[in-house]
């Protein structure tokens, strides 16, 4: 994402809590900041892709970084809960800044290509003022509604990631145990209304049991499912099926696959742990 901005002619300063992950950007003309405050002070727009709301509060709202927010626009682009986003809106406002949310659907390939689906929670005025910036990441940013609405849609989509992956992995494991070739099953599935492209995207990983080099690691899916469950409780939704999926995700984490691609749920569904 930093390279997309730099290629568009923007001056970009990056701070990463794990500095080594950002060091390769320096050779591409991206300035690395030693502290969050340094990054904030260098920017008019502060884009966040941190892992969760706690990381945002610890990194952005504490100490010098929080005091540097006055007059700056914070754009939260990670996956957090709707209520967490609304709380951040108030905290950034109290610090003298403006805040909007713009979570994205897509992963590393889409980020590199600038084809992410960008969902925006903001006022219409904020959306229009930031549209050209957000188009660096996806051609058609979508204004969902006020802050909290885009976060809700993103969380709902990530719930589908978890549920679809678990359901597909279970069906794939079932037919293979019954002696049916995976490609026979897939040929029928692809021609039906049940098909989702994500099934083919994860098929090779599941069949080879190769979950290295993830675009989206299991630990982040676990965080998003927990968030969805927590945010659903006051809405009085029946989430029992997702609680079952959560158990599968937890079993995957317990196998040491927190950093593996989330298609590793297939292992928890189909491979018995060794005694």
Helix 149-177 vs helix 182-190: crossing angle, to nearest 10 = 140
- Mean pLDDT along residues 55-68: 93
pLDDT digits (tens, 9 = 90+) for 153-176: 999 999 999 999 999 999 999 999
In the predicted structure, residue 20 carries a pLDDT above the cut 70? yes
- pLDDT category at 238 given cuts 50, 70, 90 is very high
Q: For the chain, what is the mean pLDDT?
A: 95
Give how far the C-alpha of residue 70 lies from the chain's centroid of Cα atoms, to the nearest Å.
Answer: 27
- The larger pLDDT score, comparing residue 88 to residue 108, is at 88
CA–CA gap between residue 221 and residue 190 (Å, rounded): 25
- The larger pLDDT score, comparing residue 249 to residue 22, is at 249
CA–CA gap between residue 176 and residue 97 (Å, rounded): 55
Domain 2-146 class in CATH: alpha beta
CA–CA gap between residue 28 and residue 31 (Å, rounded): 9
Which of the listed CATH numbers 3.40.50.460, 1.10.1040.10, 1.10.3720.10, 3.90.190.20 matches domain 151-270?
Answer: 1.10.1040.10
- pLDDT at site 274: 63
Buried b (16+ CB within 10 A) or exposed e, 118-128: bbbbbeeebbe
Boundaries of every domain in the chain: 2-146, 151-270
In the predicted structure, residue 275 carries a pLDDT above the cut 70? no
In the predicted structure, residue 41 carries a pLDDT above the cut 70? yes
- pLDDT at site 125: 98
CA–CA gap between residue 69 and residue 60 (Å, rounded): 9
- pLDDT category at 62 given cuts 50, 70, 90 is confident
- pLDDT at site 256: 96
Q: Rounded to 10 degrees, what is the CA torsion of 89, 90, 95, 98?
A: 40
- pLDDT category at 29 given cuts 50, 70, 90 is confident
Give how far the C-alpha of residue 153 lies from the chain's centroid of Cα atoms, to the nearest Å.
Answer: 12
Q: Rounded to a whole number, what is the largest CA-CA distance in the chain?
A: 63
CA–CA gap between residue 86 and residue 105 (Å, rounded): 20
pLDDT digits (tens, 9 = 90+) for 243-274: 999 999 999 999 999 999 999 999 999 987 76
Residue 34: DSSP 8-state? S
Please answer whether residues 144 and 224 qualify as being in contact, where contact means their C-beta atoms are separated by less than 8 angstroms.
no
- Which secondary-structure segment (H or E) carries 255? none
pLDDT digits (tens, 9 = 90+) for 4-19: 999 999 999 999 999 8
Number of neighbouring beta carbons within 10 Å of residue 76: 28
H helix runs in 114-217, sequence order? 124-134, 149-177, 182-190, 197-208
What percent of the chain has pLDDT above 90?
92
In the predicted structure, residue 177 carries a pLDDT above the cut 60? yes
């Amino acid at each position: 994402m930093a390279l997309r901005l730099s290629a568009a002619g923007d001056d970009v300063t990056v701070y990463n809590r794990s500095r080594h992950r950002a060091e390769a950007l320096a050779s591409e003309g991206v300035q690395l900041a030693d502290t969050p405050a340094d990054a904030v002070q260098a920017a008019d727009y502060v884009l966040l892709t941190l892992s969760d709301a706690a990381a945002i509060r610890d990194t952005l709202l504490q100490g010098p970084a929080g005091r540097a927010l006055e007059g700056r626009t914070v754009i939260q682009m990670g996956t957090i809960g709707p209520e967490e986003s609304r709380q951040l809106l108030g905290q950034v406002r109290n610090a003298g800044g403006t805040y909007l949310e713009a979570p994205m659907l897509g992963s590393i390939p889409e980020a590199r290509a600038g084809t992410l689906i960008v969902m925006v929670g903001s006022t219409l005025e904020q959306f229009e003022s930031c549209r050209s910036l957000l188009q660096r990441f996806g051609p058609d940013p979508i204004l969902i509604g006020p802050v909290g609405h885009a976060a809700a849609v993103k969380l709902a989509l990530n719930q589908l990631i978890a549920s679809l992956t678990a359901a597909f992995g279970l069906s794939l494991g079932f037919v293979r145990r019954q002696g049916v070739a995976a490609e026979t099953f897939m040929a029928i599935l692809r021609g039906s209304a049940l098909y989702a492209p994500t099934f083919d995207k994860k098929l090779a990983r599941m069949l080879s049991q190769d979950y290295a080099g993830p675009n989206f690691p299991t630990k982040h899916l676990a965080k998003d499912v927990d968030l969805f469950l927590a945010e659903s409780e006051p809405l009085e939704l029946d989430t029992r099926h997702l609680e079952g999926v959560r158990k599968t995700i937890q079993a995957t984490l317990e196998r040491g696959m927190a950093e593996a691609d989330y298609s590793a749920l297939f292992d928890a569904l189909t491979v018995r742990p060794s005694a």
